[in-house]
Amino acid sequence: MEKTSTNGTVKFFNGKQIPLEMHKAKVVQALNLVPVERRLAAIAEAGYNSFLLKTSDVFLDMLTDSGTNAQSDAQISKMFIADEAYAGSQSFTRFEQSILQVFGKKLVLPVHQGRAAENILGKSYVKEGSVVPTNYHFTTTLAHIMLNGGKVLELYAAEAMKVKSSHPFKGNMDITKLEDAIKTNGPENVPFIRMEASTNLLGGQPFSMENLKEVRKVADKYGLKIVLDASLVGENAYFIKVREKGYENRSLGSILLEMSDMCDIIYFSGRKVSSSRGGAICTNNPEVFNSLKFLLPVYEGFLTYGGIPIKEIESMAEGLKETIDENVVSQSPTFINYMVQELEKLGIPVITPGGALGCHIDAGQFLDHLPQTEYPAGALISAFYIISGIRGMERGTMSNNRDEKGNDILADLELMRLAVPRRVFTLSQIEYVIDRLNWLYKNRKLVGGLRFIEEPVLLRFFIGRLEPLSDWPQKLAAKFRNDIGESL
C-alpha cells in the first residue's frame, strides 16, 4: 500500500505546526478524574510513590510507555492465529522472521521482558571485577550487573547533563573516555560495551550513527562485543533520520539494519518496542547463542515461547515490523516535542531537545528550594498528581540506591518523566498536562520535600514508601481548589 510518510507533522494552511495523529480510535477506555480531595488521600495511601497508586485514582497515566503503547488492529488480529504450542510454535518462526527483517539477526531467544534478557546476559558475561562501559545506565541493567559482581561505567558526553541543549545526540558515548576506561581496567575485564538506544534515564536522548561507528572501531581494536539495548531503538532510528546529516532520505528500516549490523548482541523489552509483554536477545554469532540458550529453560521457559503467552509473541512479531513505520514511530516524539516547545514558552524547565518516550521536567530547577536528599523529583510527581490526577515517574535520586554508608547517591539529573506512550493520548489531553504544569510552576514554592519510611535495598523506587516533611500536600491542594475551583 502506498502511503505518505508525514514524520508525524503536517503543515497546516494557517501555518501551525502541530503533531497529527496518523491513526484513529477503534476501542477506547473510559477515564476517571477523581476529585482533588480523593487524590490527596490516594497519594498518601500510596506512600507518596506513584508506582503504588491505583489506576482507578489516575486520570492520565503517564507513568511509563512500558506495555502501555496502543496496539494496532494488525497486532490484535495476529493474536487470533497464535499457534499455542509448548515447543516449535509457528508463531515463534514468524517472530524470528520479524527479527531478521528488523535487526538482521538470525538467532533469537525470547524472554518474558527486558530485564529477563539482562538477567541472562548478566549471568553469562558479568563476574566479580567486571566493568561494563555504557552511554548511560538503566535501573534494571545496573541491578543485574551489580548482582553479578560487576560495575557500570557511565561514559556519556558532557552535553548529556545539560538540561537546555540543542545537541541532537545527547545519548552519545564519549569515545575518549571509552578508550581510557578499557585501558585502565584491561579489556579482559570488559565483558561487553553496552549502548542504549534513546537513553531512557537521560530523557530519551538518542545516540548518532557516527557515534556508534566510533564505538565499533574501539570495540574492534580491543576485541570487545557491543551489546545494544534496543528497547527504544525505533525512536533512535527516527532521530537519526531527522537529525543526522546523510540519513534524511533513508528508510527507518535501512537505518535500523545499519545500526544492528554494528552490534554483536541485541536485546530489547518487547513491552517498550511493540507489545504488552515479552522481549528477546538476538545475535548472528552461534557461539554467543549457544552459550546463552541453556539459561532460557531455567529462567524463562522453552526456547520458542520465553515465558509469555504465544499470542504475545505474535503481537511482538507484528509490532516489531511497525517499528520501521515512520508514521507509527514518529507519533510519540512529535507529541513530546510539542509539549517541550509549549513548556519552554511558559518558562518551565524541561529537557531539550525533546527525546523519546516522554517529556522530562527538570525537577531540580522546578523545585530549586529543595535539596536532593528531600527528593525533588519524587515531591514534584506527588504534587503534580494532587493538582491534576496525572501520574508521572520519578527519575532522580529516589531511583538510585544508597552507598555503602547508607547515604543517598545523588542523581545527576532530578527528572519528572511524563511518559507519552505511542498513540494513546490526544492533543487536548496534552494541553491539559501543559495547563496544570503551568499552574504548578506558578505555585511551586508550596511544594515541600519527602523522606523514606519504608525502603528496599535495591530498586527502592518501585515499592518504597515515603511521607511529606510537612503538611505541604494539604496546603497545595487548598490553594489549587481555591484557584481552579475544583472539586471536579
Ligand X SMILES: Cc1ncc(COP(=O)(O)O)c(C=O)c1O
Q: What angle do the packed helices 427-442 and 472-484 form, to 10 degrees?
A: 120
Select from 114, 353, 378, 392 the one that contacts ligand X (CB under 6 A).
114
Among all residues, whose Cβ is closest to ligand X? 114
Our CB check for ligand X shows the closer of 8 and 122 to be: 122
Q: Which residues of 144-170 are buried (b: 16+ CB within 10 A; e: fewer)?
A: bbbebebebbbbbbebbeebeeebbbb
Which of 6, 9, 68, 139 is catalytic? The answer is 139
Q: Could you say whether residue 203 binds ligand X (CB under 6 A)?
A: no
Active site residue 139: yes
Concerning whether 294 is annotated as a catalytic residue, the answer is: no
Total residues contacting ligand X by CB under 6 A comes to 15
Catalytic pick from 39, 78, 115, 272? 272
| Contacting range for ligand X; rule: CB under 6 A; set: 6-14, 134-142, 303-311, 412-420 | 134-142
Options 11, 12, 55, 86, the catalytic residue? 86
For this structure, is 243 an active site residue? Answer: no
**Mask: binding to ligand X, 227-246, rule CB under 6 A, as x and -?**
--x-x---------------
Nearest approach in angstroms of CB 337 to ligand X is 20
Q: How far apart are CA 462 and CA 222, in angstroms?
A: 38
Half-sphere exposure of 288 (CA within 13 A, CB side): 24
Does 271 bind ligand X (CB under 6 A)? Our answer is yes
Residue 279, interface with ligand X (CB under 6 A)?
Answer: yes
Closest distance to ligand X from the beta carbon of 313 (Å): 15
Residue 461 is a catalytic residue: yes
- Do 29 and 425 contact (CB within 8 A), yes or no? no
**Which residues, numbered 29-88, are part of the site for ligand X (CB under 6 A)?**
66
Cell reading at 467? 511521607
* Alpha carbon distances (Å) from 452 to 48, 198, 338, 456: 9, 31, 35, 10
Nearest residue (CB) to ligand X, 115 versus 170: 115
Of 208 and 388, the one with the shorter C-beta distance to ligand X is 208
Q: Which of 71, 72, 130, 140 binds ligand X (CB under 6 A)?
A: 140
In this structure, what is the dihedral angle of CA atoms 269, 278, 393, 196, given to the nearest 10 degrees?
A: 0
Answer for which of 72, 98, 113, 284 binds ligand X (CB under 6 A) is 113
Does residue number 137 form part of the binding site for ligand X (CB under 6 A)?
no
Active site (annotated) includes residue 86: yes
Kindly state whether residue 115 participates in binding ligand X, applying the rule CB under 6 A: yes
**Through-space distance between the first and last CA atoms of the chain, rounded to whole angstroms:** 46
Among 75, 172, 200, 211, binds ligand X (CB under 6 A): 200
Whole-angstrom Cα distance, residue 294 to residue 313? 20
464 binds ligand X (CB under 6 A): no
> How near is the Cβ of 416 to ligand X at its closest, in Å?
16
Binding site for ligand X (CB under 6 A): 66, 113-115, 138, 140-141, 196, 200, 229, 231, 269, 271-272, 279
Residues annotated as catalytic are 86, 138-139, 229, 272, 395, 461
